[in-house]
Amino acid sequence: MASSTITRFPPSPTGPLHIGNVRTALFNYLFARKMGGEIILRFEDTDRKRSKREYEDHAYESLEWLGLTFDHIYRQSERTLIYRKYLEKMIEEGTAYVSKEADLEFEDAGGEDQDEESERERRDEVIRLKNPNKKVVFEDLVRGEIEVDTTELGDFVIAKSLEEPLYHFAVVTDDFEMGITHVIRGEDGIYNTPRQILIQEAIGAPRPIYCHIPFVFGPDKKKFSKRHGAISVLDYRDEGILPEALLNYLALLGWNPGTPQEIFTPEELIAAFDLGKVQKAGAVFDPEKLRWINQEHIKRMDEATFKKHAYAVLASRIAANPHWNEQRFDKLVPELKNRITVFKDLDLMWEGGEFDYLFALPSYDAKLLVPTPKDGKPPTLKKVTKHLHFVSDLLEKLEEASFTKEGVKEALAAYAEKEGRGNVLWPLRVALSGRERSPDPYTLCDILGKTEVLRRLQEALTLLKADTPKKED
C-alpha cells in the first residue's frame, strides 16, 4: 500500500462544482486508475463561514453522475483532533509558535470577493510557522524545476488556534496522513507549493510529486466562471450531455493522447492517460466541440441504451399525450440516433411538433404537397393528385408483410424513377408527415403501417380536391 499511487481531489464546498474543478478531478482520477492506485475525495471545509453542506451535496451529485468514484472520502472539519496533534508537536519542537499579534489594522487582501467577507474576525493570538527562510526547489511534472525563495513569506500563519487550522497546514497534514503520492492541481497552486513544502519538512512528511495543470478558460480567455454560462456540470447533464462525453471532452482540454484518437470511453481514457502529455498553456472551453463529442458518443451507443435515454427525456411529454403510440415511436428511434447531438434536442423536437405525425393525422396546407424543383416549374395540383393516386394504388397492392422500408422502396421504385423521384416522393412524404422536413417517405411508411399510410394518402387526396380550382389547366 505504501508504494502504490494515491491522488486526491480536494474541493472546498463554497460553491457548485464547475468545469474546471471537474477537469482537475478527472486528471487525478485517470492517473490513479491508470496506476492501479487510489483516489481520495476530501472536502476542504476549514473555512466554516463559507462552506455549505448544499455545495457538498452538489459535488456528490455531480461526481456520481460523471461516474467518478473515490476510494475514501474525508471532511476536514471532522479531523481537527489530528491537526491539533501535529500543531502541538510542531510547537513543542519549535517549528511553529504561538504568536501574540500586535493590534495592527486589517490588511485587506482580496477586494474582489463581493459580500459576506466583510466581517472577518481577527485573532490576537495565532500559530505561525517558524520559517527557515530558504530557497525551496521542487520538480513539477509539467513545468519542470521551480525555485522559490520563501524568505518573503515570513513566519506565515498556519492556524488560528489549535482547533482551527488554515488551508496550507490542513492540506499538508492530510496529504501526509492519507499517503498522497501525487498532487495534481490547478496551476494557481504553484505558489502554494513552497510554503506547503516548508510545512511538510517541519512535520517530517515526505514530499509528493507535484503536477500543476493549466486552467480552463471561458471564450474570452478569462478563467472559467459563472458569467460564461453553463458552469456547473449538472447544467450539462440537464442539457442532455452524456457523462462519458463530458469526461472525454474535458480530458482533451489540456491533455492529448499523442494519437489522432478523439473519442474515448472512460476505460480508454484511463488506458491512454499520461501526465507527461499535459499542456502548459490554458485552454478555452468550447461548447461546440463538446456537443460534437457528445454526438459521437450517441452514435456509438447501442439502440437499447439510446432508447432508454430517449424515453427518460421525453417521459413527461409522453405521459401527457393521449395519442402516444409506442410502437411507432420505437420504429423512429434508430432514425433519431443520428439526428440529435444532445438529448435535449428530443425535447425541442417534440416541442416543435416534429413528432406530431406519429400520433395523429397531420394537418397541413394542401400546397405543401407540391414539390418545388430546383430547376423548372412545379407540377400542377392535378399532376400531384395523379401521383398520389398511383402511389396509393401501388401501396394498396403491397402485402402487409412487405410493407417495410425496403418493401415500399421497391414497390415505388419504377414509378418514381419514371415520373421523377421528387414528383412522386415529395407529395407522399408530406402526406404522411404533414411537414416540410421529416424522415424519408420509406421510413415513414414503415413507421405508420399500411392502414394508416393509405388513410393519410386518402386524406391528402381529399385536401387536394378541395384546393384544386375547377378550371386549372
Partner RNA sequence: GGCCUUAUCGUCUAGCCUGGUCUAGGACGCAUCCCUUUCACGGAUGAAACCCGGGUUCAAAUCCCGGUAAGGUCACCA
Per-residue contact string for residues 102-131; x = within reach of RNA by CB under 7 A: -----x-xx--x------xxxxx-x-----
Closest CA relative to residue 247, chosen from 266, 231, 263:
266
Phi and psi for 120 in degrees, rounded to 5? -85, 130
Closest distance between RNA and the C-beta of residue 129, in Å?
11
Q: Is 437 in the site for RNA (CB under 7 A)?
A: yes
3-state secondary structure of 6: strand
Q: Is 166 in the site for RNA (CB under 7 A)?
A: yes
Q: Is 41 in the site for RNA (CB under 7 A)?
A: no
Residue of the chain from 373, 382, 389, 414 that contacts RNA (CB under 7 A): 373
At what angle are helices 441-448 and 405-419 packed, to 10 degrees?
140
Q: Is 101 in the site for RNA (CB under 7 A)?
A: yes
Residues binding RNA: number (CB under 7 A):
80
Residue of the chain from 92, 105, 436, 472 that contacts RNA (CB under 7 A): 436
126-145: contacts with RNA (CB under 7 A):
126, 143
At what angle are helices 53-66 and 19-34 packed, to 10 degrees?
50
What does the block give as the cell for 331? 420504429
Catalytic, out of 49, 52, 134, 226: 226
374 catalytic? Reply is no
3-state secondary structure of 185: strand
Cα Rg for the chain, rounded, in angstroms?
Answer: 32
Q: Is 439 in the site for RNA (CB under 7 A)?
A: yes
Cβ partners under 8 Å of residue 322, min gap 6:
none
Q: What is the dihedral of CA 262, 263, 265, 269, to 10 degrees?
A: 0
Residue 192 or 321: the one with the smaller Cβ distance to RNA is 192
Residue 168 or 182: the one with the smaller Cβ distance to RNA is 168
Residue 5 or 24: the one with the smaller Cβ distance to RNA is 24
User: Helix count (H) and strand count (E) of the chain?
Assistant: 18, 13
Closest distance between RNA and the C-beta of residue 186, in Å?
8
Residue 87 or 416: the one with the smaller Cβ distance to RNA is 416
Closest distance between RNA and the C-beta of residue 103, in Å?
8
Closest distance between RNA and the C-beta of residue 440, in Å?
3
Phi and psi for 332 in degrees, rounded to 5? -85, -25
What does the block give as the cell for 419? 415520373
Q: Is 258 in the site for RNA (CB under 7 A)?
A: yes
What does the block give as the cell for 430? 408530406
Per-residue contact string for residues 294-333; x = within reach of RNA by CB under 7 A: -----x----------------------------------
Cβ partners under 8 Å of residue 464, min gap 6:
366, 369, 381, 384, 385, 388
CB 159 within 8 A of CB 165: yes
Q: Is 168 in the site for RNA (CB under 7 A)?
A: yes
| CA dist 246 → 42, 187, 233, 251, 294 (Å) | 22, 22, 9, 8, 7
Residue of the chain from 35, 82, 178, 190 that contacts RNA (CB under 7 A): 190
Q: Is 80 in the site for RNA (CB under 7 A)?
A: no
Closest distance between RNA and the C-beta of residue 234, in Å?
20
44-63: contacts with RNA (CB under 7 A):
44-47, 50
Q: Is 374 in the site for RNA (CB under 7 A)?
A: yes
Q: Is 334 in the site for RNA (CB under 7 A)?
A: no
Residue 45 or 446: the one with the smaller Cβ distance to RNA is 45
Hey, which residues are catalytic here?
226
